[in-house]
C-alpha cells in the first residue's frame, strides 16, 4: 500500500512493507528536509519494512522542522511539547489509516528529526518500539523518567560535530539508560554529516537486533 498527502495531519509518504517482520520505520528528516529525504536511507537500513516518512510542520526561514528553536541548540520547550504529542497522535492515526502494527514502529531520525524522536520516546514511550537517532542531543530534561523497558536505541554521534556538544549526546544516552532502554552509543570520527560506516552499523543493529527480535516474537 502506498499513501501520501496531508491526511491525517502531516504531509507524509507511506510505503507498505514486504516480508514478515511487521516493522514500520518512522522517518524524520533534519532541518530543511522533507518527507522524501530519508526514504532511501530507510530502504537501506531495513529492506522490506514499511516506511512512514513525515514532513515537519514548523518553518524556519522557509525550511521545514519538527519544532521551533530559539537559537542554535536552544529549543522552544512549549512548542516541542505540543509538536511531540501531535506527532505521537499522528502515528496512531496513520496506523489505523494504513493498517500497520502500532507496537512495531521504529523511529529513524536525523538531527532535528532525531531530537523530536527522542522527545517522543521520553514523553510518549508507547509510540516507539525502538529508535535510530543520528546526531541527536537532549531535547529536554524530563522531571520524571518514563519506563523504557524493552525499548532499544542506536545513538550515533560525531566527535567533531559543531552543532551537537559531546556532553549533550552522552547525557541523552544516560537519560535513556536510566529510563530502562538498551542504548548503543557509537562515536564517529565525523562532524554533523553522516558517514557510510555508521549507516552500515545502524543497519546491522536494526536488522540483527530489533527486527530479528520482533520476528522471533511473532513466531513464538
Q: Which of the residues are catalytic?
A: 111, 161, 192
Helices assigned H by DSSP within the chain? 39-45, 77-98, 112-123, 166-178, 196-204, 212-219
Distance of alpha carbon 14 from alpha carbon 90, whole angstroms: 13
HEC assignment per residue over 146-190: CCCCCCEEEEEEECCCCCCCHHHHHHHHHHHHHCCCEEEEEEECC
Q: Exposure of 78 by Cβ count < 10 A (0-12 exposed, 13-18 middle, 19+ buried)?
A: exposed
Peptide linkage before 214 cis (omega within 30 of 0): no
Q: Exposure of 71 by Cβ count < 10 A (0-12 exposed, 13-18 middle, 19+ buried)?
A: exposed
The residues, any chain, with a CB within 8 Å of residue 109's CB and separated by 6 or more, are 27, 28, 115, 116, 117, 118, 131, 132, 133, 134, 136
| DSSP state letter for 88 | H
Amino acid at each position: 500500500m502506498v499513501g501520501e498527502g496531508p491526511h491525517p495531519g502531516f504531509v507524509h509518504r507511506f510505503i507498505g512493507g514486504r516480508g514478515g517482520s511487521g516493522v514500520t520505520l518512522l522517518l524524520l528528516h533534519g532541518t530543511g528536509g522533507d518527507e522524501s529525504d530519508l526514504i532511501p536511507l530507510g530502504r537501506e537500513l531495513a529492506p522490506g519494512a514499511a516506511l512512514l516518512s513525515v514532513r515537519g510542520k514548523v518553518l524556519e526561514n522557509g525550511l521545514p522542522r519538527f519544532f521551533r528553536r530559539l537559537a542554535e541548540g536552544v529549543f522552544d520547550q512549549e512548542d516541542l511539547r505540543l509538536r511531540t504529542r501531535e506527532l505521537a497522535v499522528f502515528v496512531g492515526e496513520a496506523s489505523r489509516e494504513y493498517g500497520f502494527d502500532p507496537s512495531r514502529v521504529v523511529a529513524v531520525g536525523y538531527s532535528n528529526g532525531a531530537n523530536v524522536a527522542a522527545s517522543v520516546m521520553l514523553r510518549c514511550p508507547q509510540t516507539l518500539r525502538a529508535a535510530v537517532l543520528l546526531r541527536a542531543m537532549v531535547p529536554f530534561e524530563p522531571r520524571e523518567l518514563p519506563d523504557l523497558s524493552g525499548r532499544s536505541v542506536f545513538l550515533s554521534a560525531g566527535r567533531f560535530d559543531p552543532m551537537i556538544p559531546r556532553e549533550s549526546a552522552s547525557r541523552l544516552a544516560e537519560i535513556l539508560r536510566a529510563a530502562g532502554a538498551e542504548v548503543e552509543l557509537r562515536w564517529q570520527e565525523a562532524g554533523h554529516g553522516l558517514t557510510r560506516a555508521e549507516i552500515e552499523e545502524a543497519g546491522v543493529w536494526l536488522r540483527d537486533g530489533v527486527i530479528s527480535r520482533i520476528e522471533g516474537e511473532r513466531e513464538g
